[in-house]
Chain A
Amino acid sequence: MMEIIQSKHWVEWLITICKFGFAFIPVIFILLLIPLERRGAGFIQDRQGPNRSYFKIPYFGRIRLFGWVQDACDGLKLFFKEIYSPSGVNKFIFSIAPAIPFAIVLISPCVIPWFAPMVFTMGDEVIRISGQTVDSEVGILLLFGLSSLSAFGAVLAGWASKSKYSLLGGLRTSAMTISYEVCLGLSIMGLLLLVGSFRIDEIIAWQEANVWGIVAQPVAFFCFLIAMIAETGRAPFDVAEGEPELVAGFHTEYGAMQFGLFYMGEYSHIGINSILVACLFLGGYSVPFVTTETIQSNIGISLAVLCGIFVVAILAFLHLLYRYARWYKKSAASNKQVILREYSLYKILGWAAVVVFAAAGVASALFFHPEFTVIDGQPVYGIGVALGTALIHILVLLVKAIFFCWIWIWVRWTLPRFRYDHVMNLGWKVILNIALINLVVTALIAKLLGGI
Chain B
Amino acid sequence: MTRPDTQSEQMQENTEVPSEKRRLVDDIRFQKRLEKRYRAEKRFRLYGLLSIGFGLLCLVLLFTDIIGKGHSAFLQTEVALDIHFDADYLQIDDINDSQQLNRANFDGLIKRSWRANFPEVKSRSDKRLLYKISSNGSGFQIKDLLIAHPEWLGTTQTLWLIADDDVDVYYKAKNKGISYQGVLSDKSLNWLNALVEENRIELSFNSTFFSAGDSREPEQAGIKGAMVGSLFTLLVTLALSFPIGVAAAIYLEEYAPNNRWTDLIEVNINNLAAVPSIIFGLLGLAIFINFFELPRSIPLVGGLVLTLMTLPTIIISSRAAIKAVPPSIREAALGIGASKMQVILHHVLPLAMPGMLTGTIIGMAQALGETAPLLMIGMVAFIVDIPGGATDPSTVLPVQIFLWADSPERAFVERTSAAIMVLLAFLIVMNTLAVLLRKRLERRW
| A and B bind | no
Residues of B within 8 A of A (CB): none
